[in-house]
């Protein structure tokens, strides 16, 4: 749970836990143990790199409901808005322009909600 809170923030985790029902409790337990306790806690990659991989995978599979949460996590884990844009641009080449277009829209809205400036233009 400490890794989950460290990446996603207390407010997000508190909302997820508060919304847990007897039906969803096994899933919450599963993601806490597996995603956050096992995979995100492994020493082989730092959290910054894991955020890059996660944004890439979420974009590629069009998991648009998860992108905003992981844009926030990427900022927490040290990525800049410019780097997030580069991740999404790079992903467009391999996962497709429509998927990256949707991810850019979500990321831009999320960064604006966070009060972060738009990525600097060269």
Tell me the per-residue pLDDT of 3-30, one tens digit each, with 9 for 90 and over: 999 999 999 999 999 999 999 999 999 9
pLDDT value of position 118: 65
- Kindly tell me if the per-residue pLDDT of 119 is higher than 60: no
We report the CATH number of the domain holding residue 105 as 1.20.1290.10
Determine the Cα–Cα distance for residues 122 and 110; give it in Å rounded to an integer: 22
Determine the Cα–Cα distance for residues 63 and 51; give it in Å rounded to an integer: 15
Determine the Cα–Cα distance for residues 54 and 32; give it in Å rounded to an integer: 16
Q: Are residues 58 and 38 in the same domain?
A: no
Predicted model pTM: 0.89
Q: Are residues 35 and 56 in the same domain?
A: no
Tell me the per-residue pLDDT of 51-69, one tens digit each, with 9 for 90 and over: 999 999 999 999 999 999 9
Coil, helix or strand at residue 103: helix
For the chain, the domain total comes to 2
């Amino acid at each position: 749970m400490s890794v989950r809170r460290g990446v996603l923030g207390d407010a997000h985790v508190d909302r997820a836990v508060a919304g847990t029902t007897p039906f969803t409790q096994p899933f919450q337990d599963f993601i806490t143990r597996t995603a956050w306790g096992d995979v995100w806690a492994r020493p082989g990659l730092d959290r910054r790199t894991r955020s890059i991989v996660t944004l890439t995978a979420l974009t590629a599979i069009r998991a648009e409901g998860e992108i905003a949460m992981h844009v926030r996590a990427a900022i927490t884990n040290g990525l800049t808005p410019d780097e997030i844009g580069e991740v999404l641009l790079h992903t467009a080449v391999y996962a497709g322009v429509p998927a990256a277009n949707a991810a850019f829209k979500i990321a831009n809205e999320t960064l604006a909600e966070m009060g972060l400036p738009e990525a600097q233009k060269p």
